[in-house]
Structure 1
Amino acid sequence: MELILQRELPHQQKAVDIISAVLEGVNITAPRQVYENPTISLSDPGLMSNIGELQKSIPVEYRSNMSIGNCLNLDIKMETGTGKTYVYTNTIYELHKRYGLNKFIIAVPSLAIKAGTAQFLKDEYAKRHFSDVCGYGTEIEVGVLEAPKSRKKGRSYFPSVVSDFVKGSCRNTKKIYVLLVNMQLLTVRVNGMLSRDDYDYGVEGFYRPFDAISATNPVIIIDEPHRFSREQKAFKVIADELKPQSIIRFGATFPETSIGRGKNKGTVKDYQNLIYDLNACESFNQNLIKGVAKEHFEPVSKREEKVKITSIASREAVNFQYKKRDKATKTFTLKKGDPLSIVNEAFAGITIQAISTSTVEFSNGIQKSTGEELDVGIYMSSYQEQMIRLALERHFETEKLNFCGRNFKIKTLALFFIDDISSYRPNEKYKAPYLLQTFERLLKERIESEICTLGEHEAEYKEYLKASLINISACHAGYFAQDNSDSDEDIAKEVDAILHSKKQLLSFKKTDGGYNTLRFLFSKWTLKEGWDNPNVFTIAKLRSSGSENSKLQEVGRGLRLPVDENGNRISNEQFQLNYIVDFTEADFAERLIDQINGELPQSSSISEERLDEVAKKLSLTPDELFGKLYDKHYIDRRMNIKPDKRDAFFAEYPDFATGLSSGKVEDRNVARSKPVKIRKAVYNEIRELWETINQRYLIFYDDDLDSDMTEVVLSLLEKPSVFTDVVMTSSRDIVKNDGSQMTIVSGTGVQGIISKPIPYNEFLKRIMCGTNISIEVLHEALCEYVKRNGDINSEHINENSVSMIIQQFQEWKHKNLQGRFRYAKSRTPIGSTALSYEDGSPREEIAQGRIGTKIIPGTPSDKYLYDAFAFDSPLEQKNMMSNIEEVIVYGKIPRSSIAIPTITGGTYSPDFMYVVRRSTGEKELNILVETKDVEDKTNLRGTEEANMECARVFFDMLSKDGYTVCFRDQLNNKQIAQIIKEVLVE
């Protein structure tokens, strides 16, 4: 399979646009040396002016008053799973396109993150995406800095990766040079690789790598900034040795710094010109990541057995106390290397690894201090077995839905974190890994029982499960830190599958055509930052230590939205991560919510910008809104929110409220969020409209389009920007002496043509993938082009031409396909729908995520289709709470339930449906509404506008077929009552 990257996702594109806007209008001078970046004028007042303007969109508490000094610091906050790597890669391309910057350094904190970043930057699908789909027509040349091998006698070679990075010419407009480095290599302790100056040769006159890199005037991107605090040595090296002109930090978490003194001393996030804040709360609320459903078992035994560390006698021995129902029964003294099973058999396989003056470290990685306790219950094999059963239960209910319950299939993965490697991997001391044996036994039982429940329409899934049953061991694999030094071939294959073969792990089929059943992964918290897989739907923390780690970091490995079997990111519905812990973390969901909401500034006042923004949404002036809030005693004259009125204020004006929406983090042990009920009486009123708009229609293009396509392609090929030379010009400065002083005179430069031709068949394939135009038509058009214009220079059969042709065709589609297509009803029966069964009877309920990611208390009007207020945007909330006299019934259309084919290649589904009574009272009218939270149509992207135009054609076709449906779009400055009245008048 090929992972398909999506262009211009709003939350990602906004970050790229904001970073680029910082330099808008700022003086940037051309490089003096061919190996330099252009120089940003850091004293230009436009920089701080731009930053100040951009910071109006983030909370006042996060705005900084930092001066720029000798380095432009910018911070981009993006929650785990929202695509930081994609965004900073896109930023690199955009800064090169707009401002000519082409020397970038990416600094990461670990080898795992470095491996993942390098894989993304070098992968062909990413290169094609940015070159062809995004239209940059530029290539990133990645140099990955590695630790030096042991130094040998003889010649001392300057690091080649650094040499290639430095020598890259700024005049090569088709190349961007990126140096990827992990923090350990930045410190001088690592053999002094970058700080030495005794190499046998240098680069561009520099013999010290740090000096050579610094001379390029680089822009540095820091990934995971919480690992690079300003006091940390790697950051100091970046600032003092590399001396970048700009540092852009991308992360979900940022380091903290101390402020104040004495009693007033506290800590705050160390933001340095934060200009984009996509925090965890927004990411959950905007449905950009999966929701989380936590679950745990109460202890199997109610004996309440614990083992307490009473004292550490020396670095050689530690004293334990065995307690039952909080009463001490026995004491033990153990030494380094002793098994903990001496205290209780539940701890089989765990030994004492190290003893310090105040802490004990066990072989499972857990570290405990004097006075701390270990719960025996969570280490009992019976408890662990129940956790595995629960994890498999959640996995298979999700996997079945992802395989059989959609129009596409999603490979479903589960991740198990364990703390005792020997329980999974055989070794000399423990020949029979009990966890592995238990897991394989339970997996086999679960698959056998699942197969028995499947019907004829689930035959393919049954075959997949049967393939799993044939080879249970092929269904799971593990990765642990010690694997990096293990020479076992089978273990190496497992590690490669988990770390480096993401696309294969997401595929249902292997290269030989057989089923790829690997989907259960085991690790000892090794798979943390730097590793991710979008299709992890279940995480189980077996034998959890109840650590105080960031709860967001723990669930982060499973938050990304999934991709289907063809590599498409699925973002049009709510997915959920099953998170299974032991009873010591029963409050996990509550603590996760506290952490998410705790990251938000707890505003006690309303800013002018926020007042303006909300007033605009409510179609009021700021003064009118202020008057309303003041008259209701919600605020005082200085716009401070009155503490005793906060709850009422946020309930009535949710646009001002911040915090995690309900249903995003769920505790299955407390009260599962209930599905939304479908009101049968209301459905019967709207049934005719619903069944009509669910009729299957096919899109047909005008017959002459096929015959015209060769001419269309030919017209695109003949545009002047498609087949052109890429010219580079050198600048030549001559130093002269006029008798009194030295002067520089500009001389005549040299022009050179560069290109990177690709094979003709690859050229055609790449255009076909981006346009869906057949290779035959493309070839025919190119042949005709040659007849009319002469041979094409072979150097022009390159990536730049591919990119230009794809861009031209996309523009042509939006401009020329409107009005040249029609819809025709398919003979396919309606079948079951999101609201009804196959026989047409209404369903009892629908998942909340299908109709809205947010929910508020209250009972909707009797006219409303559902029994709860579930919505996605404030505009939708207003619509469902509006009581309009002419409306008979209305309802939110479930997400992606109406699949109208469009000219953009996808499908389209409106948001609301209404049945209204005409003013005469005799006839009813059907209205469908598409809500858009933008001020006017100029803010709609081309694809959105094209989709809505297709919807208008579609509903006109329904009217011609005998069923009148009026389709309207609603922007956020228009009330739904106004739209309905306008339609009734028409």
Structure 2
Amino acid sequence: MLRLKFDPRLDFQIDSISSVLDLFKGQTKKPFDYTFQIISNLLDLPQRRIFENLQEIQKKNGLPLSNADDLKEPYNFTVEMETGTGKTYVYLRTILELNQKYGWTKFIIVVPSVAIKEGVLKTLDITKEHFKQLSENLPYTYFPYKSDNLVMVRMFGQDTNLQIMVITRDAFNKDINIIHNVHDKMGDKPIEIIKKTKPIVILDEPQKMGGGATLWGLSELSPLFVLRYSATHRDIYNLVYKLTPYDAYNLGLVKKIEVLSITEEGDASSKKIILDRIESTSGGLRAKVKVFANTKDGIKFKMITIKHGDDLANKTDNSYYEGFITSEINKGAGYLSFSNGVKIYEGKSSIDEDEIIRFMVRETVREHLDKKRQLNHKGFKVLSLFFLNRVDDYLLEDGIVRRMFEKEFNKLIKNGFKEFSNLDVQKVHSGYFSKMKRDKSIEEDEKAFDLIMKDKERLLSLEEPVEFIFSHSALREGWDNPNVFNICTLAYSSSEIKKRQEIGRGLRLPVNQDGDRIQDRDINLLTVITNESYREYLERLQIEYREEAGEEAPPVEDKRERIKVKIKNDVVQGGLFKNLWNRVSPKAKYIVNLDDGKFIEQCIKEIQKIEIKEPEISIKKVRVDKIGNYN
């Protein structure tokens, strides 16, 4: 069975761990203090000494220095590490070393979602043997908090060995939660037992837990101090270590990125607008449209009202809609027209979404099979991840994406990838959603959940047939797999999904069948399939890097630039060319010179047959080579 291996000698991880341990330099191990049979963490190092340690660490790591006023009880310290560099491993190993060095035994890991909780528990499972070797068989217990198993809370309070509780914020951020109520068997509120332990709290993705209710719940835990871990902190409290995207990317700690762009070329209607309805008002006709608008919370797909003469780019504060000026609102015929010729009918979209999605699915499968051909024989399992616009597009047996995927998969197997003809299309894909709605047995739902969320090693095995994973939002945070080589988001370019969040699911370095991570930059490549131009994609990625990391987005090169060729008639007539043409013609686009008269005549005949205009799809792939510093 495949087992993941961990390298304990990575300098950046050791530096992060040491930065936290050194905060408490001068603290000594204390004998256990039994307070009402509860064992609690003790910290008697003066605040002044902790502040001195903090500034010493910040100077060493080249970070902004905290002020004395920044250090308030309960102490909060921040560690920033790029996605895919082992953040969870680092804070788990930090827990063990804090126990060994200072004797603290009570730790609570707080997470914002079930997906992240399962990821943490899985990491605890697969690192158990590794940590035992590092810590000379240090005994420790870890468990998820469950309101129907409160005996574990009692054990957490009374056990003298290291205890690690994993809990979601929703389990304790309301006073009606079971954790805040008295239980006869315990003789107290579970929260009161936890309070007495003075736990050290680890916040995983704290930027997702900044609401008033969660802050109240955290205060109820009465932590000794709080360690905050994320790649994208919203608020920084006493930063002690920072591994930037620039460092991670250029040191080869994460995969390189390339963008495969699929758009309707040269067509203004490729900008998504949905006409919901037309209304008559005292001021004239108004159209209710759903568009991508720039709000204080970022780009949101929302409903706005427009009238004749409105400039959609101004109304949405989004240059995505440049050239869209309302020219006609026709209530009788039920349509809206813009100055660039785009016309939309009520209840309809400005774009042929199904055709774009079909191309995206097809190109993702093609990328997957290409990489499978290159990497399977080297011992790498290739995984591809789809994010859906609508759950039922996959969950339903006749869901449009499910049908498209199976059709395109079978077509590609027959045309170009016959060596994989033994694959069963029904077995190569699976899905996980926060709410499984399909009318299937619970056993099958649990099987998908266990494979995707819990059994990472089996999913990485070449013996496991599942290679394509479909999800809606449940896997957009807290889940990743090192062998995700392709990510396809079947939603439109200005969607609310953060680009860094999107690529984060596949940044981790891949592993082979021996469980070893591979440091080969030719293999370590993540392809993102998107429905926007690579220029638009990178502009948005650049904004996110600047806002969240203070760095430039990666420069790219276009791998599918068009080139001009001249016809050599003697070559074209030969059998060698015909053989070559049969191979390359399905994969390229061409611009050719024709006899105008004959061309026009033929076009007239063909146009008379046309009922529905087919979109012209542009497919471009670009690669991110490096990230530059942003000053």
**TM score, norm. by length of structure 2:** 0.74
The Cα shift of 1:382 comes to 2.1
Distance 1:65 1:659, change over 3 A: farther
TM alignment of 1:900-979, pairs within 5 A: none
Conservation of the 8 A alpha-carbon contact between 1:320 and 1:333: no
Deviation digits for residues 430-456 of structure 1 (CA, Å, limit 9, x no counterpart): xx333222211211121233345xxxx
Does residue 589 of the first structure (1) align with residue 554 of the second (2)?
A: no
Conservation of the 8 A alpha-carbon contact between 2:246 and 2:627: no
Does residue 246 of the first structure (1) align with residue 246 of the second (2)?
A: no
Does residue 304 of the first structure (1) align with residue 251 of the second (2)?
A: no
Deviation digits for residues 165-195 of structure 1 (CA, Å, limit 9, x no counterpart): 11112xxxxx311111100011234x43122
Deviation digits for residues 894-921 of structure 1 (CA, Å, limit 9, x no counterpart): xxxxxxxxxxxxxxxxxxxxxxxxxxxx
Conservation of the 8 A alpha-carbon contact between 1:287 and 1:853: no
Distance 1:599 1:111, change over 3 A: closer
Give the structure 1 partner of residue 55 of structure 2: 52
| Aligned with residue 562 of structure 1, among 510, 525, 535 | 510
Distance 1:451 1:36, change over 3 A: same
Give the structure 2 partner of residue 93 of structure 1: 96
**Equivalent residue of 2:39, what SS?**
coil
Conservation of the 8 A alpha-carbon contact between 2:383 and 2:485: yes
Give the structure 2 partner of residue 112 of structure 1: 115
**Equivalent residue of 1:534, what SS?**
coil
Does residue 19 of the first structure (1) align with residue 3 of the second (2)?
A: no
| Aligned with residue 508 of structure 1, among 447, 459, 462 | 462
Does residue 211 of the first structure (1) align with residue 192 of the second (2)?
A: yes
| Aligned with residue 237 of structure 2, among 269, 272, 293 | 272
Deviation digits for residues 682-718 of structure 1 (CA, Å, limit 9, x no counterpart): xxxxxxxxxxxxxxxxxxxxxxxxxxxxxxxxxxxxx
| Aligned with residue 385 of structure 2, among 409, 415, 430 | 415
Give the distance between the partners of 2:196 and 2:249, measured in 1 at CA: 43
Does residue 479 of the first structure (1) align with residue 432 of the second (2)?
A: yes
**Equivalent residue of 1:481, what SS?**
coil
| Aligned with residue 351 of structure 2, among 356, 371, 376 | 376
Give the distance between the partners of 1:93 and 1:99, measured in 2 at CA: 10
Q: AA paired with 1:376?
A: I
Distance 1:248 1:669, change over 3 A: farther
Q: AA paired with 2:525?
A: Q
Give the distance between the partners of 1:129 and 1:499, measured in 2 at CA: 21
Q: AA paired with 1:589?
A: L
Does residue 183 of the first structure (1) align with residue 186 of the second (2)?
A: no
Conservation of the 8 A alpha-carbon contact between 2:394 and 2:402: yes
Give the distance between the partners of 2:545 and 2:23, measured in 1 at CA: 28
Q: AA paired with 1:292?
A: I
The Cα shift of 1:71 comes to 2.1
Conservation of the 8 A alpha-carbon contact between 2:262 and 2:533: no
Give the structure 2 partner of residue 544 of structure 1: 492
Give the structure 2 partner of residue 200 of structure 1: 184
Deviation digits for residues 515-538 of structure 1 (CA, Å, limit 9, x no counterpart): x33111111122111211111111
Deviation digits for residues 292-341 of structure 1 (CA, Å, limit 9, x no counterpart): 21221231683627434567899xx994599998654655989xxxxxxx
Give the structure 1 partner of residue 609 of structure 2: none
The Cα shift of 1:416 comes to 1.1
Give the structure 1 partner of residue 396 of structure 2: 426
Q: AA paired with 1:479?
A: Y
Unmatched tracts of structure 1, length 5 or more: 149-157, 170-174, 256-269, 335-342, 348-373, 453-461, 510-515, 602-657, 673-848, 857-986
Give the distance between the partners of 2:60 and 2:515, measured in 1 at CA: 33
Give the structure 1 partner of residue 205 of structure 2: 224
The Cα shift of 1:93 comes to 0.8
Give the distance between the partners of 2:217 and 2:626, measured in 1 at CA: 45
Distance 1:394 1:474, change over 3 A: same
TM alignment of 1:612-627, pairs within 5 A: none
Conservation of the 8 A alpha-carbon contact between 2:144 and 2:167: yes
Give the structure 2 partner of residue 494 of structure 1: 448
Q: AA paired with 1:289?
A: V
Q: AA paired with 1:53?
A: E
Distance 1:420 1:484, change over 3 A: closer
Q: AA paired with 2:379?
A: K
Give the distance between the partners of 2:346 and 2:399, measured in 1 at CA: 15
**Equivalent residue of 1:272, what SS?**
coil
Give the structure 1 partner of residue 422 of structure 2: 467
Which has the bigger relative contact order, CA under 8 A and spacing at least 6? 2
Unmatched tracts of structure 2, length 5 or more: 291-305, 307-311, 313-322, 336-343, 564-622
Distance 1:87 1:188, change over 3 A: same
**Equivalent residue of 1:554, what SS?**
helix
Conservation of the 8 A alpha-carbon contact between 2:147 and 2:179: no
Give the distance between the partners of 1:855 and 1:29, measured in 2 at CA: 47
**Equivalent residue of 1:482, what SS?**
coil
**Equivalent residue of 1:424, what SS?**
helix
Give the distance between the partners of 1:313 and 1:223, measured in 2 at CA: 50
Conservation of the 8 A alpha-carbon contact between 2:39 and 2:158: no
Deviation digits for residues 52-75 of structure 1 (CA, Å, limit 9, x no counterpart): 011014455474544433323211
Conservation of the 8 A alpha-carbon contact between 1:80 and 1:559: yes
**TM score, norm. by length of structure 1:** 0.49
**Equivalent residue of 1:474, what SS?**
coil
**Equivalent residue of 2:492, what SS?**
coil
Percent of matched pairs sharing the same residue: 26
Give the distance between the partners of 2:267 and 2:30, measured in 1 at CA: 73
Give the structure 2 partner of residue 712 of structure 1: none
Conservation of the 8 A alpha-carbon contact between 2:41 and 2:197: no
Does residue 389 of the first structure (1) align with residue 362 of the second (2)?
A: yes
Distance 1:549 1:441, change over 3 A: closer
The Cα shift of 1:86 comes to 0.6
TM alignment of 1:745-784, pairs within 5 A: none
Conservation of the 8 A alpha-carbon contact between 2:541 and 2:553: no
Give the distance between the partners of 1:506 and 1:416, measured in 2 at CA: 17
Give the structure 1 partner of residue 616 of structure 2: none
Conservation of the 8 A alpha-carbon contact between 1:475 and 1:519: yes
Deviation digits for residues 856-897 of structure 1 (CA, Å, limit 9, x no counterpart): 9xxxxxxxxxxxxxxxxxxxxxxxxxxxxxxxxxxxxxxxxx
Give the distance between the partners of 2:207 and 2:136, measured in 1 at CA: 32
Distance 1:583 1:550, change over 3 A: closer
Conservation of the 8 A alpha-carbon contact between 2:153 and 2:190: yes
Conservation of the 8 A alpha-carbon contact between 1:35 and 1:216: yes
Give the structure 1 partner of residue 481 of structure 2: 533
The Cα shift of 1:549 comes to 3.5
Give the structure 1 partner of residue 42 of structure 2: 39
Give the distance between the partners of 1:660 and 1:333, measured in 2 at CA: 43
Give the distance between the partners of 1:178 and 1:585, measured in 2 at CA: 44
Conservation of the 8 A alpha-carbon contact between 2:434 and 2:473: no
Query: What is the RMSD of the two structures over their aligned residues, measured on CA atoms?
Result: 3.5
Moved more, 560-569 or 591-600: 591-600
Does residue 236 of the first structure (1) align with residue 234 of the second (2)?
A: no
Give the distance between the partners of 1:483 and 1:86, measured in 2 at CA: 30
The Cα shift of 1:20 comes to 1.0
Conservation of the 8 A alpha-carbon contact between 1:28 and 1:40: no
The Cα shift of 1:218 comes to 1.2
Give the structure 1 partner of residue 613 of structure 2: none
Deviation digits for residues 494-516 of structure 1 (CA, Å, limit 9, x no counterpart): 3332222211111011xxxxxx3
The Cα shift of 1:346 comes to 10
The Cα shift of 1:105 comes to 0.7
Q: AA paired with 2:427?
A: A
Give the structure 2 partner of residue 162 of structure 1: 153
Distance 1:70 1:112, change over 3 A: same
Distance 1:667 1:290, change over 3 A: farther
Give the structure 2 partner of residue 443 of structure 1: 409
Conservation of the 8 A alpha-carbon contact between 2:117 and 2:167: yes
Distance 1:543 1:492, change over 3 A: same
Give the structure 1 partner of residue 136 of structure 2: 136
Conservation of the 8 A alpha-carbon contact between 1:127 and 1:139: no
Give the distance between the partners of 1:436 and 1:309, measured in 2 at CA: 27
Conservation of the 8 A alpha-carbon contact between 2:63 and 2:239: no
